[in-house]
Amino acid sequence: MTAYILILDDDADVATAAQLLLRRRHGQVVTLSDPAGLPALLARGVPDVVLLDLNFTPGRINGAEGLALMDVLRTQARPPAVIAMTAYADVPLAVEALKRGAGDFITKPWDNARLIAAVDQALARRQAAHGAAAGSPELMGESRAMRELKALIASVAPTEANVMVLGENGVGKELVARAIHAASRRATGTMLAVDMGALPESTFESELFGHRKGSFTDARADRAGRFQAARGGSLFLDEIGNMPLAAQAKLLTALERREVTPIGADKPEAIDVRIISATNLDEARLFDPSVFRADLLFRLNTIVIRVPPLRERLEDVPLLLSHYLKRYESQYQRPAREITAAALDALARHDWPGNVRALRHACERAVILGQGVEYVAADFGLAAAPAAAAPGLSGAAGAANAPGAPPGYPTHAAGSGGDGGDRAVAANASLPAAASATDATLDAIERAAIAATLAQFNGNISHAAKTLGISRAALYRKLGKHGI
């Protein structure tokens, strides 16, 4: 789900760790180390969730500073959900934080699954409090296809039926899942998302079903699996079609029995979750027994929701453009600008192979690189020429956009894999058509190249780093540098 999350902590390492953990799940995650900067940040926009440290002055452990900041946050017209964080936790402090408006209390160092669940719960509570449901502003569009989609969500959400969401990359399958959860009877519970395609088969059971201390090497403590963490809520199994057949069998057993057995446990535990799954696989492939088990498919697809690609609802493009341009103008503190009639016509006729995700990245690109008083088509990359292979790099740059990549961005060639970083990324980035060597900064070009490559690989850090020709560590540093 796209959300605006603020991490307010004076420890830069702690803030960066939380930012990297949450950024792939929630679009805009920013950090702030000095509470004095909070008023200016709130003036630009109120976050959806604030992860708030309670102590900022060295030596202070009473939480008074953080509690005072909670009072400031409560005065906002639409207050953010607050998750209090501290390394010096005690019961009275936790109680006081909850009285001041915190929705949860996290002790540092945190368990990643626990922090993710806390943020998801905070977002669900905030959406419920402000009436978010199938008409969520994130599911934007007034086309016939979108009206039918919203009506189907409104009909399905109040039931307990398992739902399978089908659609191409970038259409917003997770947004549909979250809209179903937000409009369901489980809205006050947790919705946890799991990328099934990214789960190694060796850790599949531990991640989903949990484990007991000492059950295997490095199992230093009991750990709840995703099924237990989402108890009473919804579990979103993303990219379900990428699961190995052996893992599918284990998932099927859990769904049939409505119970899971943590690794190392003697007894099974009952589960109480609603399953929402999603895949970009063609439906014909889903019914191929060599790809997906038919018995598992029939457990998951009680209701099937097909999300239309953007090319089938082009009348929604102007609304989406307006929304995302305003968002990024606010984020990057750029002046509001209109789109020329010619640019709007070109954008409204573009087939958007990367769907809404591609449009969103194109808007971010336009806000960062556009130089005129109005946005023109070239600002969005629609007129950008394909990149030629850079000298000295292995492989050739692609002549067409990869599926899911923003329009006009090149498919980047893999570099040597070294940690040089700046030169490798610059070599893989074509100069945008709207910018020249004199009016585009190297930082802006580098940021655009990184954003495009991450979009191309759906946020996969390893693949993006390999394509950009830098190490994972170097890419993480650049993500922090550019605030991506």
CATH classification at residue 84: 3.40.50.2300
The answer to whether position 137 is within a domain reads no
Instruction: Note the pLDDT of residue 411.
Output: 31
Instruction: Note the pLDDT of residue 25.
Output: 75
Q: Domain of residue 41: give its range.
A: 4-110
Q: How many Å apart are CA 80 and CA 356, to the nearest integer?
A: 26
Residues 344 and 379 placed together within one structural domain of the fold: yes
Residues 277 and 149 placed together within one structural domain of the fold: yes
Q: 10-residue block means of pLDDT along the chain (484 residues)?
A: 83 87 80 90 87 85 86 81 80 75 82 83 67 54 92 92 95 92 87 85 88 84 87 93 92 95 93 95 89 94 95 94 92 91 94 92 93 94 47 31 34 36 46 40 79 77 81 74 72
Task: Concatenate the DSSP letters of all residues of 100-115 into one string.
Answer: TTEEEEEESSPPHHHH
Instruction: Note the pLDDT of residue 448.
Output: 83
Residues 328 and 433 placed together within one structural domain of the fold: yes
The answer to whether position 81 is within a domain reads yes
pTM of the predicted protein model: 0.58
Instruction: Note the pLDDT of residue 87.
Output: 78
The CATH number given to whatever domain includes residue 452 is 1.10.8.60
User: Distances from the Cα of 5 to the Cαs of 19, 67, 153, in angstroms?
Assistant: 9, 19, 26
The answer to whether position 268 is within a domain reads yes
Instruction: Note the pLDDT of residue 331.
Output: 84
Q: How many Å apart are CA 205 and CA 338, to the nearest integer?
A: 51
Cis before 335 (ω within 30) = no
| Domain boundary residue, one of 308, 339, 368 | 308
The answer to whether position 117 is within a domain reads no
The answer to whether position 28 is within a domain reads yes
Q: How many Å apart are CA 97 and CA 100, to the nearest integer?
A: 5
Instruction: Note the pLDDT of residue 378.
Output: 92
Which two three-digit tokens encode residue 263? 């690794």
Q: How many Å apart are CA 44 and CA 34, to the nearest integer?
A: 17
Residues 462 and 317 placed together within one structural domain of the fold: yes
Instruction: Note the pLDDT of residue 483.
Output: 66
Residues 263 and 352 placed together within one structural domain of the fold: no
Instruction: Note the pLDDT of residue 60.
Output: 77
| Domain boundary residue, one of 308, 328, 346 | 308
Residues 286 and 401 placed together within one structural domain of the fold: no
Instruction: Note the pLDDT of residue 473.
Output: 66
Number of domains in the chain: 3
Rg of the chain taking only CA atoms, in angstroms: 23
The conformation of residue 473, written as its DSSP 8-state character, comes to: H
Q: Which residues of 412-436 are buried (b: 16+ CB within 10 A; e: fewer)?
A: bbbbeeeebbeebbbbbbbbbbbbe
| Domain boundary residue, one of 308, 327, 353 | 308
Residues 161 and 214 placed together within one structural domain of the fold: yes
Helix (H, G, I), strand (E, B) or coil at 285: helix
Residues 236 and 254 placed together within one structural domain of the fold: yes
The answer to whether position 401 is within a domain reads yes
The answer to whether position 171 is within a domain reads yes
Residues 274 and 211 placed together within one structural domain of the fold: yes
Residues 271 and 405 placed together within one structural domain of the fold: no
Residues 325 and 474 placed together within one structural domain of the fold: yes
The answer to whether position 329 is within a domain reads yes
Residues 257 and 381 placed together within one structural domain of the fold: no
The CATH number given to whatever domain includes residue 261 is 3.40.50.300
